[in-house]
Amino acid sequence: MSEPLICAGCGLLCDDVTAEGTALTPECALGSRWLAARRDAGGAAASIDGAPADVTAALDRAVELLGAARRPLLHGFDGATVEDARAAVTLADRLGALVRVDRAPDPEAVARRGSSTATLGEIRDRAEVVVVWREDPEVTHPRLLERLGSGATLVVVDDRDTATAARADVRLRWAAGRDLEAIRSLHVLERELPLTEDDLAGELRGLLDRLHAVPHAAFVHGPGLGGPRAALALYELVRALSDQRHVVTLGLPPVAGSAGADAVLTWQTGYPAAVDLASGHPELALAVDEGVDVAVCVEAPARPGVTTIALSALPVADAAVHIATAPPGVAAPGTAHRLDEVPLALAAPWPADRPTAAQLLARIGEGLAR
Amino acid sequence: MTEIRITGGAIHDPANEVDGEVRDLCLRDGRIVDDVGAQARTIDARGMVVMPGGVDIHAHIAGPKVTAARRLLSDDRRDDPIDRTELLRSGTGGLVPSTFATGYRYSLLGYTTVVEAAAPPLAARHVLAELRDTPMIDKAFLILMGNNQVLFELIRDGSAHLRDAIAWWLQATGGYGVKLVNPGGVELFKQSNGVIESLDDTIAGFAVTPRQVIEAIGSAVDGLGLPHPVHVHANNLGVAGNAATTLDTMRTLDGRQAHFAHLQFHSYGGEPGGPMRSRAPELLEHLAAHPEFTVDVGQVMFGDAVTTTADAHVSTVLRDLDGGKWLNHDTEVETGCGIVPYTYQAGNYVHALQWGIGLELFLLGGDPWQVMLSTDHPNGGSFLSYPKLIRLLMDRGYREDQLGRANRRAIRRTALLDDLDREYTLNEIAIITRAAPARRLGLRDKGHLGVGADADVTIYHDREDREEMFSTPRYVIQGGELLVEDGDLRRVQDGLLLSGRAPFDPAVAEVLEPLFGERYTVAFDHYPVRDPALREPARTVEAS
Ligand code: SF4
Ligand SMILES: [Zn+2]
């Protein structure tokens, strides 16, 4: 029997999917893998130091560890829901902990200059040029190009022969190390300032001509862009181009849960990405997690070398405490934010008798209060 | 069962024509009652002023654009931290406080109900989740409908389902009412960075005009009998000469109930691109002749603000003024969003004129039941500046002092130097900050102190310095519980979600589904918010 599903295999949260076994229609290999891993998660309900334990004992141990922690951290959120994140920041506030959305985009570029973005439908219906900048959505977000429609000219900036590059109408092949230079040069050209003529100049002029020729364009970018300086340069370029046309960016998050968790952290504390609550109030915490002695890891891989309480549907290696959760979107409902910030309600086609991370975090909070 | 007797206070309850009468006020189980038992807790309010809790009819406190503003302004909040306590969550303040801080600060200010005035319906889950994290106050949100492509199609085709569609959308989102922002203009901006020149411009691709959109949706909301009428942010906000558009919009809605948001930003004479002047007097005259209309002022306050609007074109204009931060987000089918931090300077001609026009709207003899207080938080200034604004209205000496600091040329172009001696009374303040907004929102249990009303009560020291008085209420009671004493939060509560509802023909789903399929990237079935944790508990106010 086929079940309708909102797939959380990547940030696209495709909501037109049905599943038969673990095969998805429309087909998506990444989505099938996501579903398979969660439908067969199985395993012990909980474990302490690798040995099976019952959930209550595991919660007691978690409370004990956190009660004694000097510098607790709550982190992860790769596969978490908005509800999980709300519960995590609530607990972090009580503990005076660090909170980190592990795969959140670097917030610096937005905070410095802002950005221009759009939902998928806006890009699908309007953009005539889509520039994918050193990302391979065919692998990481397999249905992205399909969902953006076939109307636009697809430009791919990448020197690797990726699956996405194979679908490009136009390829630009400079090496990753030259991205910042390339974006800055585009900006120089856009401002009609003299450009140092080098091997990139011709390609860059060609790209800019394409962008100038259309009323709507979009840049798809992600971690491949390599750091906040390049992101800042890209936003600056988009802003300059926006003067005469409508140009937006679409960030590709590496995981499905980060967009919602990052929004929650921002609305509850005022700051995105990483927040330190140790002083009694939120402070931006962009440095490494120095001195962390106990970590609560929510629906994500653990950090090596830290005593970890893992609340996760998938097994987590080397956790001091692991409690298996009902996988969001498979066995538990919850809210998730699509990569373009559209919030969707994940369904639970195969409900399981396991708690959510949000429920566990609340119980840990109650345990600490006793 | 909590019972409270407030004794000896001067009651200001304009909705019940009570103006400073000294008498007791009794509260039981969240309501105002005739009498309470001898065991009731007594609050000694002798020498104090007792009003219904404040009601903010237009502010921006939750949802994707507010959180985007928080991201953009992470440097603005560093110096305004809020510490966690046994009772309270930590947070940060600044122009756009974090959610918990927003709830706490509104409560500390004596406000008990706040309307988020511009929520993209597609983002309803996000808006609701933030509102659930905004404690203390009761809250509602208005959904953006003035640039909705599906509604454009229904309007173009003269569909009989328009009313049903609007009622469906409220039901799908938990929204309270309907908002139009630059009707048609945001779609034009998303199409071509375009602007509306006239209400009769055709919106490319849809063969409808802004006038048709305003007329059709205004009539539909009026016909549905929703508790709050259509809430209009007119076209051409901030542009010299836009008063003509505003008057045209009002004429288009003649005879139907409507609320016009932040009228100050829409009251300008002159020519686009040229020097601005004030046309506030004419607009007030029009209002006086049209009791079916109300407005909130959208006063600008000198100092820092952040413009946060669905009217994304305006943000590109502000972006180009000083080249500072700018954030834009386009929401498919429905709306746009623009955010630009902004500083209003007393010495600047335009800013001083905007400030002066706002004061004209308050002071030139308008009916306070029609002209309500707002700063369009955080667009004209933070809600924390309301006490200062109240002082400007109540204290002529203070106002003249402030006038003296503002750009002379601008102030000379207003009526503020014409011996304008109006000083708001306490009852008039009670009207513009609670009685009129509650009435306009159709919240029968709020904004007054009659028997049966919600026990939302704010008690102030009667201080000569009205800014001080309204900044720190002596007591704030909401739903019959004492929340605030002398600037300290004593008790935390969630506050209610207020939703509006009108019956509709469920067959409208068959009309909407194919239109959704063509336009949205979210399936029709997945659009409505069903999660009870987001939707409930709520108080639903039915159409009548
Ligand atoms: S593209 Fe992503 S969300 Fe869509 S089906 Fe594939 S894995 Fe799932
Ligand atoms: Zn507004």
Ligand approaching nearest to the C-alpha of A141 = 1
Say what the pLDDT of residue B273 is. Answer: 83
Dihedral angle over CA of B269, B324, B134, A313, nearest 10: 140
CB A336 within 8 A of CB A329: yes
Q: Is A153 exposed, middle or buried (0-12, 13-18, 19+ CB in 10 A)?
A: middle
**Closest-CA residue to B410 (of B270, B260, B237):** B270
- Residue pLDDT, tens place only, B48-58: 999 999 999 99
Which residue intervals of B289-348 are DSSP H helices?
A: 312-322
Q: Does B63 touch chain A (CB under 8 A)?
A: no
Q: Is B186 exposed, middle or buried (0-12, 13-18, 19+ CB in 10 A)?
A: buried
* Total residue count of chain A as it appears in this document: 370
pLDDT interval class at B366 (50, 70, 90) = confident
pLDDT > 70 fraction of chain A, expressed in percent and rounded = 100
Ligand approaching nearest to the C-alpha of B180 = 2
Question: Mean pLDDT, to the nearest integer, of B23-47?
Answer: 97
pLDDT interval class at A49 (50, 70, 90) = very high
Using CB atoms, pick whichever of A107, A279, A344 lies closest to residue B526: A344
Contact (CB<8Å) B90/A269: yes
3-state DSSP call for residue A262? helix
**Closest-CA residue to A279 (of A100, A98, A108):** A98
For residue A290, pLDDT over 90 is answered with no
Contact (CB<8Å) B193/A244: yes
CB B349 within 8 A of CB B409: yes
For residue A40, pLDDT over 90 is answered with no
For residue A2, pLDDT over 80 is answered with yes
Distances, alpha carbon B216 to alpha carbons B146, B156, B157, in Å: 10, 10, 11
CB A71 within 8 A of CB A98: yes
pLDDT interval class at A333 (50, 70, 90) = very high
pLDDT interval class at A28 (50, 70, 90) = very high
For residue B338, pLDDT over 70 is answered with yes
| Strand A321-324 relative to strand A46-48, pairing | antiparallel
B322: Cβ contacts below 8 Å, ≥ 6 apart: none
Q: B101 to chain A: which residues are within 8 Å by CB?
A: 270
Question: Mean pLDDT, to the nearest integer, of A287-307?
Answer: 92
Residue A288's CB: how many other CB atoms inside 10 A? Answer: 9
Contact (CB<8Å) B329/A215: no
Using CB atoms, pick whichever of A114, A248, A269 lies closest to residue B72: A114
Q: What is the DSSP string of B462-503?
A: --SSHHHHHHS-SEEEETTEEEEETTEE-------EEEEE--
Question: Mean pLDDT, to the nearest integer, of B452-462?
Answer: 98
Residue B179 C-alpha, separation from nearest chain A C-alpha, in angstroms: 20
- Helix then strand then coil, in percent of chain B rounded to 5, is 35, 25, 40
3-state DSSP call for residue B314? helix
3-state DSSP call for residue B256? coil
- Residue pLDDT, tens place only, B200-243: 999 999 999 999 999 999 999 999 999 999 999 999 999 999 99
Contact (CB<8Å) A267/B97: no
- Residue pLDDT, tens place only, A133-162: 999 999 999 999 999 999 999 999 999 999
Mean predicted lDDT score pLDDT of chain B: 97
CB B308 within 8 A of CB B60: yes
From the CA of A142, give the closest atom in ligand 1.
1
Q: Which of A245, A268, A344 to mutate to test the interface with B (most CBs of B within 10 A)?
A: A268
pLDDT > 90 fraction of chain A, expressed in percent and rounded = 93
From the CA of A24, give the closest atom in ligand 1.
5
Query: What's the rounded Cα separation, in Å, for the pair B111 and B107?
Result: 5
Query: Amino acid letter at B479?
Result: G
B290: Cβ contacts below 8 Å, ≥ 6 apart: B250, B254
Query: Amino acid letter at B356?
Result: G
For residue A76, pLDDT over 90 is answered with yes
Q: Which two tokens stand for residue B52?
A: 């219904």
Q: Tell me how far the alpha carbon of residue B257 lies from the centroid of ligand 2, in angstroms.
A: 19
For residue B400, pLDDT over 80 is answered with yes
pLDDT interval class at B374 (50, 70, 90) = very high
Q: Which two tokens stand for residue A4?
A: 């309708």
Contact (CB<8Å) B129/A96: no
Question: Mean pLDDT, to the nearest integer, of A22-32?
Answer: 97
Question: Mean pLDDT, to the nearest integer, of A214-237?
Answer: 94
* Total residue count of chain B as it appears in this document: 544
Q: Tell me how far the alpha carbon of residue B232 lies from the centroid of ligand 2, in angstroms.
A: 10
Q: Tell me how far the alpha carbon of residue B340 lies from the centroid of ligand 2, in angstroms.
A: 14
Q: What is the DSSP string of A136-188?
A: -HHHHSTTHHHHT-S-SEEEEE-SS--TTGGG-SEEE---GGGHHHHHHHHHH
Is cis: bond before A142, omega within 30 of 0? no
Q: Which two tokens stand for residue B494?
A: 């969630």
3-state DSSP call for residue B321? helix
Question: Mean pLDDT, to the nearest integer, of A178-203?
Answer: 93
For residue B494, pLDDT over 80 is answered with yes
Query: What's the rounded Cα separation, in Å, for the pair A100 and A274?
Result: 4
- Residue pLDDT, tens place only, B121-149: 999 999 999 999 999 999 999 999 999 99
Q: Tell me how far the alpha carbon of residue B233 lies from the centroid of ligand 2, in angstroms.
A: 8
Query: What's the rounded Cα separation, in Å, for the pair B408 and B403?
Result: 8
Say what the pLDDT of residue B420 is. Answer: 87
Residue B476 C-alpha, separation from nearest chain A C-alpha, in angstroms: 24
From the CA of A8, give the closest atom in ligand 1.
3
Q: Which of A145, A148, A269 to mutate to test the interface with B (most CBs of B within 10 A)?
A: A269
Q: Is B485 exposed, middle or buried (0-12, 13-18, 19+ CB in 10 A)?
A: middle
Say what the pLDDT of residue A104 is. Answer: 94
pTM (predicted TM-score): 0.98
Contact (CB<8Å) A282/B100: no
From the CA of A141, give the closest atom in ligand 1.
1
Q: B87 to chain A: which residues are within 8 Å by CB?
A: none
CB B101 within 8 A of CB B92: yes
Say what the pLDDT of residue B272 is. Answer: 85
CB B106 within 8 A of CB B136: yes
Contact (CB<8Å) B90/A280: yes
Q: What is the DSSP string of A305-368?
A: TSEEEEEESS--TT-SEEEEPPPBTTTB-EEEE-TTS-EEEE--SS--S---HHHHHHHHHHHH
pLDDT interval class at A226 (50, 70, 90) = confident
Say what the pLDDT of residue B274 is. Answer: 86
Say what the pLDDT of residue B1 is. Answer: 61
Q: Tell me how far the alpha carbon of residue B377 lies from the centroid of ligand 2, in angstroms.
A: 7
ipTM: 0.98
Domain positions in chain B are 56-461+470-489
For residue B279, pLDDT over 70 is answered with yes
Place of tokens 């004596």: B110
Query: What's the rounded Cα separation, in Å, for the pair B249 and B182?
Result: 11
Query: What's the rounded Cα separation, in Å, for the pair A318 and B265?
Result: 60
Sign of the Cα torsion B397, B401, B403, B409 reads positive
For residue A132, pLDDT over 90 is answered with yes
In chain B, residues 92-131 whose CB comes closer than 8 Å to chain A: 92, 94, 96-101, 122-126, 129-130
**Closest-CA residue to B388 (of B414, B359, B366, B411):** B359
Contact (CB<8Å) A245/B193: yes
Using CB atoms, pick whichever of B64, B98, B325 lies closest to residue A268: B98
